Amino acid sequence: MTGLKLIKIALAQLNPIVGDVEGNAEKARWARAEAARLGAHIVMFSELFLSAYPPDDLVLKPAFQDACREACEALARETADGGPAMLIGLPWVEDGLLYNAYALLAEGAIQSVRFKVDLPNYGVFDEKRVFEPGPMPGPVMFNGVRLGIPICEDIWGPDPVECIAETGGEILLVPNGSPFRRGVMDERLNEAVARVTESGLPLIYLNQVGGQDELVFDGASFVLASDGSLVGQLSAFREEVALTVWEKDEEGWRCVEAPLVTVAEGDEADYAACVLGLRDYVEKNRFPGVVLGLSGGIDSALCAAMAVDALGKERVHCVMLPYRYTSNESLSDAAECAKRLGVRYDIVPIAEAVEGIEAALKPLFAGRPRDITEENIQSRARGTILMSISNKFGPMVVTTGNKSEMSVGYATLYGDMNGGFNPIKDLYKLEVYRLSALRNRWKPQGSLGPDGVVIPENILSKAPSAELRENQKDQDSLPPYDILDGILECLIEHEMRVSEIVARGYDLETVKKVERLLYLAEYKRRQAAPGVKVTKKSFGRDRRYPIVNRFRDQGRSAFKPDAAFARGGGKPRTSEAMDF
């Protein structure tokens, strides 16, 4: 037997910042020092750590490529001190081609580099726009141990790992930039187990943590034994440097020491993702804090709770913006919510602003009845006031619309859609209620908000209303949320035909109306603030529909082309489900 019989690998599950090459390099130095303190031989970082993930078109900038390479070479020189070696990701130019690379730094030099083979080009990923696929990877040698390095997507198919195993790889080290969405933890684990089963090699899955625009990276790194069993699990949504200890016997390498914690799942994971996404958007963009309109409704109450959990009460400013249709119930609910959260709370009436705008428009609107136009003036007055507070004092405006509203356009451009970031953008209305009830009995580890009930029970139990006219309720304009949310999930997450949705028991005319509203609201969503992705298909990077779009399903059945017509030998059958 040759090589080490013992190897200690530190896992740096960290939160880099896109474009902050110097800062990310310093974070790597800190993690290396921590790994040395733990006695590690080598410390492993996540995919594209020096640039952070995803850098998008920033990696096409030659000056940025140079900065990443220079930082890598500087780190490599520092490994001459006898401390831990480093495995670190960065964009890498070779022979005029740009690769998603992973480099082994040891003994004062860049010893080996491996390039990502399978470039994802679906959902939120479009790596084929900027990177070239690398060749099939063999293992890299470190102190006599053959380390296989499939990068992220390289384990979502069998070929790269098969190549590593066939060329003598002994341990699979998988650096990742894998964003959070519901169910993704199980999907990652299943894919990793499949690669371990096929290759017979143990595996370390190391993931980035932190928020980057709409994406949140949950960390939740893990270790699998060669039989596919879970022997190591790091926390979700938290930075940490953890040590794994490996011993080699006749059957190969075994992980004999690693952290093994329970990670948040379901609604708890969704809430933690929203908090982390908001915190990092504010912190990484260097806002001093946030301001939001606290209406007495469920959406703004949940956003306020998330903001306090993310930033602390001192950095959250809530403003009630009442008008003649604002109920006493809403006034008292908003005040109570602010009190429980401990935030600054101001009341700024909007009557003068609304009536001033209406007076200015009176000559143009003469002879026309009041309608939704006047309702939107109220919303836009509120949006203008919040943006003015932001401009004067510096806090970012938090937008508070949920996915149900954004789907069907139940929101006002330049009004309640104003703001810099929306933590609940990808949560349907019923999910907002569910997470609000959850927050009253639980909060994520590391949250800065108070324990206990922070959202008054009356906010959870009363009927939702925009309060833009007398006795208005959301259900005056929309189907009940249990019906609306179910239809929207079918249309958005599953891209189902109208006929398939109706087969689930929904009314045809209601489904057609919701589909129509979904398409019509695309122009609004293009102008909406970014927000945290938690579902399979969020608005933004995931779902790219045209604004000019005349297609409507209208309940057609699945089309099966006539065989003769498909061969060019006839005309299509007539069908009630087809439009000509």
List 255's β-bridge partners, or say none: 246
Residue 367: CB atoms within 10 Å: 4
Alpha-carbon distance 402 to 436, whole Å? Answer: 13
Is 152 one of the annotated active-site residues of the chain?
yes
Is 425 one of the annotated active-site residues of the chain?
no
Choosing from 27, 34, 47, 303, the catalytic residue is 47
Q: Is the peptide bond before 133 cis (omega within 30 degrees of 0)?
A: no
Alpha-carbon distance 238 to 282, whole Å? Answer: 17
User: What is the sign, positive or negative, of the torsion defined by CA atoms of 513, 518, 524, 529?
Assistant: positive
Choosing from 8, 68, 72, 116, the catalytic residue is 116
237 backbone dihedrals φ, ψ, rounded to 5°: 65, 25
Token digits of residue 558: 């699945």
Token digits of residue 552: 């409507």
Choosing from 68, 152, 274, 318, the catalytic residue is 152
Which helix (DSSP H) or strand (DSSP E) does residue 105 occupy? strand 97-106
Alpha-carbon distance 209 to 240, whole Å? Answer: 9
Q: Edge to edge, what strands does the sheet with 344-347 contain?
A: 344-347, 316-320, 290-293, 396-397
Alpha-carbon distance 340 to 334, whole Å? Answer: 10
Is 490 one of the annotated active-site residues of the chain?
no
Q: Strand 209-212 relative to strand 290-293: parallel, antiparallel, unpaired? A: unpaired
Alpha-carbon distance 472 to 324, whole Å? Answer: 12
Are 578 and 556 in contact by the 8 Å Cβ rule? The answer is: yes
The catalytic residue positions are 47, 116, 152
